[in-house]
Amino acid sequence: MRLVSFVTIVLTRIPLPSCGIALNIAGLFGLLSTLSEFHSEVAWLLLPMCKPLLALTVSLQGVLVLRAMIWWPSSDREQCGTLQIVGELHSTRAVSAYGALLIAVQLAWAHMYQLGAGTACLIVAHAASVGQYLLCARFLWLCFRQRKWPEPMWFPATVSLATPAIIAAQLGTPAVVASAALAAGVAVALIAWPLCVVRVLHDRLVAQGPVVFVQMAPVPFVTLAALGVLRVERVHVAAEAPAWVCILLVVLVPLNIMSVLVTALAATRRWRSFRETLCPFQPAWAALTFPLVSSCLVAVLLDRFHSEVDGVERVTGAVVGASAPLSTALSTAPAAAAALRVITDAWARVLVPVTLIAVPLIDLLWLLELPRWVCRCCGGVTPRRFESVRLPDGEVAALLKDADSSCSSRGSTRAIRERVPVRSEFDEIEFT
């Protein structure tokens, strides 16, 4: 029993942002596989890393699932106990983290199915897809109930609706299902991403610390979903794709670049909040990894997709022709195609080395710091159960009045959080 109790406490001390680590490792597998396929001269170096990465992400997913399934008995004998995940699903941040875990499960098990691991992988991947939609509904309900506006934390649980489109070609999903998943992801991104960009750039108190890096995830994620739908249709280069699809992808090239630049601008405005998370290293840095991996993978795939000269000239001609006479469009298309190829190639050359250095470094720091986070249980400290702090209306009113008198309206939330004893790592306050 002591061993079981010790293992239970250790599992509870694993930070929930580790779901982002599992996700970025699954993304690294896809990135290295793609680079090995497109650049055979480095395949001898990258391919041996792929299967260990796949095994590592699946193992970490198993540990996180065990963490979620921990059973906590109730102190009241007349009431049943509860699972760890049941308590955590009252927090929007926890739901967002579990959204990242479900994305990792879908990506990893789809890769395993493609490698011939069996029908069980197909079942797990589809079950995770269904769970993703249920989790998104839960997340949106919590945000509506708690009156939360879009912020970067939204995206792992919402835009991830497009994940079935990314893995559609690997699982043999019908094109109609893949297109519907893409449409769901695009719809959420069109609504939430612009609002999130405005809030992040306008208010520095929104998305403090490394969480702001999730801002650049939706656009490359939707782009990966669009490319996934094209793979279902067996379209691999621009010369084979319908003109409207290529026009969409041409538009997505500057959007992906703008997404990274906007996130970098928002991060520079919050550089002071990074110091507290660097020393000691905090799990929140997992928020940087998968957005960077997905942006890099999109840059590589778009560079490959637009590599066909005739296809790109045809597409850029269609784009230019939409607002110019035909003769002008035909004369402008070669120059526009050349510019597009230069942009995608340069963007890929910048992001690939940055990603292959930054993401493994963060993963290594996370691995080195994991014993420190877990060792907090060795001194006999009991694990904290997740429980939202419910305050009476009178106490809430007193806190609000005190906050208004002691600080500005922008800082009132922070003042309340400093006054309220929160019993979870998410600092959630539920006003009733």
Tokens standing for residue 144: 């509506």
pLDDT by residue, tens only, the chain of 432 residues: 677 777 788 888 888 888 999 999 999 999 999 888 888 888 888 888 888 999 999 999 999 999 888 887 666 555 566 788 888 888 888 999 999 999 999 999 999 998 888 889 999 999 999 999 999 999 999 999 988 888 888 899 999 999 999 999 888 888 899 989 999 998 998 898 999 999 888 888 887 888 889 988 899 999 999 888 888 777 655 555 566 666 777 778 888 889 889 988 988 888 877 777 777 778 888 888 999 999 999 888 887 776 654 444 444 444 444 444 434 443 444 566 677 777 888 888 889 999 999 999 999 988 888 887 777 644 444 444 444 444 444 444 454 445 445 444 444 444 444 444 333 333 333 322
Q: Which residue in this structure is represented by tokens 């991996």?
A: 293
- 394 inside domain: no
Range of the structural domain that residue 347 is part of:
2-384
- 431 inside domain: no
The CA–CA distances, whole Å, from 336 to 314, 346, 347 equal: 10, 15, 16
Quickly list DSSP for 311-353: HHHHHHHHHHHTSS-HHHHHHHHHHHHHHHHHHHHHHHHHHHH
Provide the domain count of the chain: 1
Quickly list DSSP for 221-278: HHHHHHHHHHHHTT--SGGGS-HHHHHHHHHHHHHHHHHHHHHHHHHHTTHHHHHHHH
Q: Please report, for the domain that includes residue 315, its CATH number.
A: 1.50.10.150
- 432 inside domain: no
Tokens standing for residue 165: 């489109």
Of 351, 421, 412, 411, residue with least CA distance to 390 = 421
Does the global pTM surpass 0.75? yes
Q: What pLDDT is attached to residue 308? A: 52
Of 76, 98, 77, 101, residue with least CA distance to 87 = 98
Q: What pLDDT is attached to residue 431? A: 29
Q: What pLDDT is attached to residue 335? A: 62
Q: What pLDDT is attached to residue 230? A: 83
Q: What pLDDT is attached to residue 294? A: 92
- 68 inside domain: yes
- 356 inside domain: yes
CB contact at 8 A, 386 and 83: no
- 430 inside domain: no
Between CA 353 and CA 52 the distance in angstroms is 21
Q: What pLDDT is attached to residue 388? A: 41
- 338 inside domain: yes
CB contact at 8 A, 426 and 93: yes
Q: What pLDDT is attached to residue 131? A: 93
- 246 inside domain: yes
